[in-house]
Amino acid sequence: MYVGAAACVALLAGGSGCKDKNNPLTGDSPSNIVFPTSGVRYGVSVQPLFNQACNFGGCHDDNPHQSALSLTTFDNAVRMVPGIVVPGNPDGSVLVLRIQGSSGTRMPPSGNPLNQNQVNGIRTWIAEGANNN
């Protein structure tokens, strides 16, 4: 499956700028976010996980850094870099490949990896259409 070169480059570059193992603003690690097995809601589960594991400290936030991908809002996560999230197709979504560690550097690159429930939850959210709910 072809994924845009810009998406791959953006995600590959993103890992090298991250400095923190867990979100220094909240002290949280992503381990306290639990996803349901279906009916995954972006505002309840996905964005809070991004806030804790991805969008701080020079990683996927809105500050200048090495990655072109910001995970601070739904629009940024789904529309900023084509191919990151492909609604209805988790196996074709670069986000899933990276958090699974099956393509490129595993995300997040340092600190606690996402647990299986969280990976499955992101997969389910995308399979269910990657809605802003």
| pLDDT tens digits along 12-63 | 334 444 544 444 444 445 668 999 999 999 999 999 999 988 877 678 877 7
Lookup result for tokens 């492909």: 86
Taking residues 100-127, what's their average pLDDT? 92
User: Residues 18, 67: contact at Cβ < 8 Å?
Assistant: no
Lookup result for tokens 């399979």: 127
| pLDDT tens digits along 48-106 | 999 988 877 678 877 766 677 889 999 999 998 899 999 999 999 999 999 999 998 89
pLDDT for the residue numbered 64 = 64
> Above 60 in pLDDT, residue 4?
no
> Is residue 48 classed exposed, middle or buried when 0-12, 13-18 and 19+ CB atoms within 10 A define those classes?
middle
pLDDT for the residue numbered 109 = 86
List phi, psi (to 5°) of 47. -60, -40
- What's the residue count for the chain? 133
pTM of the model: 0.77
Percentage of the chain modeled with pLDDT above 90: 52
